Amino acid sequence: MAVKSRRSLLFASGALLAVAAVAVPVVAGTAAADSGAAGAGNQARIVGGNQASIADHPYAVYLTDAGGNQFCGAVIVSSTAVATAAHCAKAVAKQDIRVVAGREDKRTSDGQVLGVSKIWVSQSYTDPTQGADIAVLTVRGQLGYRPANLPAKDDTQVYATGTQATVLGWGRIADGGARSDYLRSAQVPLVSDSECRSDYTVYDQQSMVCAGYRDGGIDACQGDSGGPLVVGDTLIGIVSFGDGCAKAGKPGVYTRVSTYADDVETQSRPRLLG
């Protein structure tokens, strides 16, 4: 089973940087952020989804390197912080990461581009297939867009099997395809823990949640890593990994945000100036 993260490969300063080794599935309607294609003119997006409005999802942002190449997604969690996948936070040096907010079309100069002053990565993280694939980036300045809501740590209802969730991103629209210029979204149902465990032997129900259709067709993909999976405006998942993109019997695997909600809230509090 070729399980890989959904981050793409980056060309930075002439060097090819391999992003996460775990393949991330493509969420229908979401644009996968494929850093591997960065700078090559290829544009990929979420598999099986549709163009989405940043006005409807103002918390959806993406990450670039210092050269402006998108390599992952992220989500605003406070006026000074965004959450993303740990494997995205470790893909590029802190001083080279840029958070792009309020920009629906990557070809425009809309919104904000902010540097990163601090990175928190879950201490339990080793690689996406082992769970704890979550990080919080503190930005330099203030994000002028509404953050997503965090789930309660004990909220099990929002993770009920069959719940329709929305995945968002600028990644590939097909496994190995081009990246999207626009924000895209897709609706995917949450999959039971028992079903996901049968699809992925590495599945851990405490730190992960799966979403997708048994027949495939809709999923997140390369370049979507770190992006949000939401129910309404509540952030329940972070795009983490998968087996290819939108394959039958291989739903997307996301970081279960409720497990890390307290950490995310603590790390995203604006720092007081004294």
Q: Which residues are catalytic?
A: 87, 133, 225
In angstroms, rounded to a whole number, what is the distance separating the alpha carbons of residues 19 and 236?
24
Dihedral angle sign, alpha carbons of residues 263, 119, 181, 141: positive
Q: Collapse the DSSP code of 87 into the 3-class scheme (helix H, G, I; strand E, B; otherwise coil) and give the result.
A: helix
Candidates 265, 260, 269; CA nearest to 155 is 260
Question: How far is it, in rounded angstroms, from Cα 127 to Cα 131?
Answer: 7
Task: Assess contact for 238 and 7: CB atoms under 8 A.
Answer: no
- Rounded Cα–Cα distance for residues 57 and 38 (Å): 24
Residue 214 CA to residue 2 CA, distance in Å, equals 18
| Half-sphere exposure for 42 (CA within 13 Å, toward CB) | 24
Euclidean distance between CA atoms 88 and 107, whole angstroms: 22
Sorted by sequence, the CB contacts under 8 Å of residue 8 that are 6+ apart come out as 19, 32, 33, 34, 35, 36, 37, 38, 44, 71, 171, 172, 179, 222, 223, 225
Supply 190's token pair: 């949450």
Three-state secondary-structure class, residue 117: strand
Q: How far apart are CA 251 and CA 213, in angstroms?
A: 7
